[in-house]
Amino acid sequence: MRDTLPLLDLTDFPAVRRQALDTLQVNMGYMCNMKCVHCHVAAGPHRTEMMDDANLALIPQVLEARKLDTLDLTGGAPEMHPRFRELVVAARKLGVTVIDRCNLTILFEPGQETLADFLAEQQVEIVASLPCFEIDNVDRQRGKGTFNKSIAALQQLNKLGYGQPGSGLVLNLVYNPQGPTLPPEQQGLEAAYRRELMEHFDIRFNHLFALANMPIKRFGDYLISKRQFHDYLRLLKDNFSAANLPGLMCRNLVSVDWQGYLYDCDFNQQLGLRLPDDGKKGGKEGSKAESRPHLQDLLHRELEGQPIRVAEHCYGCTAGQGSSCGGALHDES
């Protein structure tokens, strides 16, 4: 059963155009040590897709050529790529901020014993998934034993300085709902996380990002199996807020898949909605002559002012307080 077809229909989502590019978000591959229910990538231990050396070599070139501020590494578990550390070092030498979207349990996988120390040495910002501060909720969504491993990982990171005042080592947590509902107000939820994690586990962190679940891939399949897909889309559309449009992450970020192809965001990537052609290579959308924008094109192609490809799932980023890779887009309180 596929979840992508309902999202490819025509949409009345407002037109959006790009601003100056500052962030390169790279999916290094779909291999992961976990198989979470809410995963919009459908990552897991069985996935074998990995970015090759040729595309990896292009990343530092693009960062330098475009003078980008941030390299945002995701997956799967990006740390499982054999050249993850090499890429991090190359980007840091350029003065680029590196974000590692970490599932926390990866720190305890064989061969990753020195991962936490490496991340701290390179001053990598960590964005870590912790969908709840209660064991039952986390284990139900991400697998039995995940909560305890995640807590142990956070404590290890705290000992290295992550999340500690004045350390410069940034540790942000990510919350997402258990099912087809909007996330609660981020500021209040962050206060609850801070209180509970400190009181019970002596854990500190910098910020909490409250994200909406996107109705695609594994979570989309879940919604379809429960006959909740269209109801969830209606919930997102009914809660659309135009106040979120200026802060959409796709306006200054470009997403790169494991093959080096470009998309407006990670969600478009999973739906195969590639970055719109700039028209210079000819060919209409869907035709054989249409170009397929690639990482290499960023060495000479400007994106500012270009249209962003939108579809029904875009309402997931604009519902309620909004949702982006950096959490809520505005304060509802």
Instruction: Spell out the domain ranges in the chain.
Output: 5-318
Run of H or E including 189: helix 186-201
- Would you state the pLDDT for residue 322? 93
Which token pair is 293?
A: 């924008």
pTM comes to 0.90
Element holding 329 (H helix, E strand): none
Whether cis (ω within 30° of 0) applies to the bond prior to 220 is no
Q: Are 25 and 59 in contact (CB under 8 A)?
A: no
CA 237/CA 309 separation, integer angstroms = 17
Pairing of strands 253-256, 262-263: antiparallel
User: Residue 232: phi, psi to the nearest 5?
Assistant: -70, -40
Q: What is the pLDDT of residue 299?
A: 94
Specify the pLDDT at position 191: 96
Chain position carrying tokens 């200026």:
246
The residues with which 72 forms a beta bridge, in sequence order, are 25, 99
Residue 126 CA to its chain's centroid (Å): 12
Query: How crowded is the C-beta side of 231, counted as CA atoms within 13 Å?
Result: 10
- CATH class label, 5-318: alpha beta
In order along its 333 residues, the chain shows pLDDT tens digits of: 344 445 555 689 999 999 999 999 999 998 887 676 556 666 777 888 999 999 999 999 999 999 999 999 998 899 999 999 999 999 999 999 999 999 999 999 999 999 999 999 999 999 998 877 877 666 666 666 788 999 999 999 999 999 999 999 999 999 988 789 999 999 999 999 999 999 999 999 999 999 998 888 778 888 999 999 999 999 999 999 999 999 999 999 999 999 999 999 999 998 889 998 765 543 344 444 457 899 999 999 999 999 999 999 999 999 999 988 888 887 655
Cα dihedral sign, 112-69-17-57: negative
- How many CB atoms lie under 10 A from the CB of residue 80? 22
How many C-beta atoms lie closer than 10 Å to residue 154's C-beta?
25
